[in-house]
Amino acid sequence: VRDAKLKVFGSLKQDTDEGRSEWKKLAQLLKSEYPEYTPLLVKIMESLLSRDNIDDKTQHYDEVIDAANEVIDSIDRDELAKFFSLKSDPEDEEAEKNKKKMETSRNQLAQALYQKGLALAEIETLKGEKGSVLAGIEGTKDSDQTGGQSAVGSDVQSDLFEENFKELTKWVDLKSSKYGTLSVLSERRCGRLGTALKVVNEMIQDDGEPPKKKLYELKLSLLDEIGWSHLSTYERQWMHVRFPPSLPLF
């Protein structure tokens, strides 16, 4: 019954105000029926991430962070850490089942931490705090009251991002193509643009899967930020070759 309800919930459309309202009601109902049930909380987070035509982006990313936090809080990280610190017996069927369960929990935890990190970075960008953080790193300070408040806000946001980032490093390889974007953002927001570019290049060269367009776009933005306009121009020319607007008919 529970799985059937989750399936119905996952099929709900959110492209209208009415649809989002119904989705929200059912989400609350299911959470009250199945409190701290991780697969449900993951489904809620994924549904939020799949939304299009978002009017208030800051509110949306706040909702993503809240949903990610619920996933994180539903997983016993101490138990998870203890399990992966020990070797399981591959001949023991029960142990293998438990291993798969724990691996699923770890993946769910990592995904929640990753999406939370991306959302925190997006909010930081929307609030225009990125510049403040970099200015703080370079030793630039604004003495007026507004600037001081902005710096405090940036510090809080920075702490949240870094705290979340450090937690994620405990569970996954952040240089992998799946989670590497967060490594790039971390290096970038600390002003280490060269290192950020190096991580992007490593992700692009990863043989595991074809590089995504967003990675090249991230590389372009870093080249622009560093000021290497000649390389940026060269890469933009290649973008049309790598990702043509439409495939030729013949």
Is the domain of 151 the same as that of 205?
no
Residue 77 sits in which domain range?
2-172
**Residue 81: predicted pLDDT:** 93
Residues 6 or more apart whose Cβ sits within 8 Å of residue 47: 9, 10, 12, 14, 23, 27
**Residue 157: predicted pLDDT:** 56
Is the domain of 76 the same as that of 120?
yes
Position 156 confidence tier, pLDDT thresholds 50, 70, 90: low
Is the domain of 151 the same as that of 178?
no
**Residue 145: predicted pLDDT:** 41
Reply yes or no on whether the pLDDT at 147 is more than 50: no
Last residue of a domain, one of 172, 204, 225: 172
Last residue of a domain, one of 156, 172, 188: 172
**Residue 152: predicted pLDDT:** 47
Reply yes or no on whether the pLDDT at 162 is more than 80: yes
Is the domain of 159 the same as that of 177?
no
pLDDT in tens, 105-129: 999 999 999 999 999 999 988 887 5
pLDDT in tens, 30-63: 999 999 999 999 999 999 999 887 888 999 999 9
Alpha carbon distance 129, 135 (integer Å): 10
Is the domain of 69 the same as that of 146?
yes
CB 133 within 8 A of CB 158: yes
Is the domain of 56 the same as that of 164?
yes
Q: What is the DSSP letter of 89?
A: -
Residue range 165-189: mean pLDDT, rounded: 90
Is the domain of 199 the same as that of 220?
yes
Position 249 confidence tier, pLDDT thresholds 50, 70, 90: low
3-state SS assignment for residue 39: helix
**Residue 193: predicted pLDDT:** 93
CB 17 within 8 A of CB 28: no
Reply yes or no on whether the pLDDT at 140 is more than 60: no
Residues 6 or more apart whose Cβ sits within 8 Å of residue 45: 64, 67, 68, 70, 71, 111, 112, 115
Angle among Cα 72, 75, 94 to the nearest 5 degrees reads: 150
Residue range 220-237: mean pLDDT, rounded: 91
Is the domain of 131 the same as that of 184?
no
The pTM score is 0.79
Is the domain of 165 the same as that of 214?
no
**Residue 190: predicted pLDDT:** 86
Is the domain of 77 the same as that of 167?
yes
Is the domain of 36 the same as that of 142?
yes
Alpha carbon distance 106, 103 (integer Å): 5
Is the domain of 163 the same as that of 181?
no
Reply yes or no on whether the pLDDT at 154 is more than 90: no
* Domain count for the chain: 2
Last residue of a domain, one of 172, 192, 227: 172
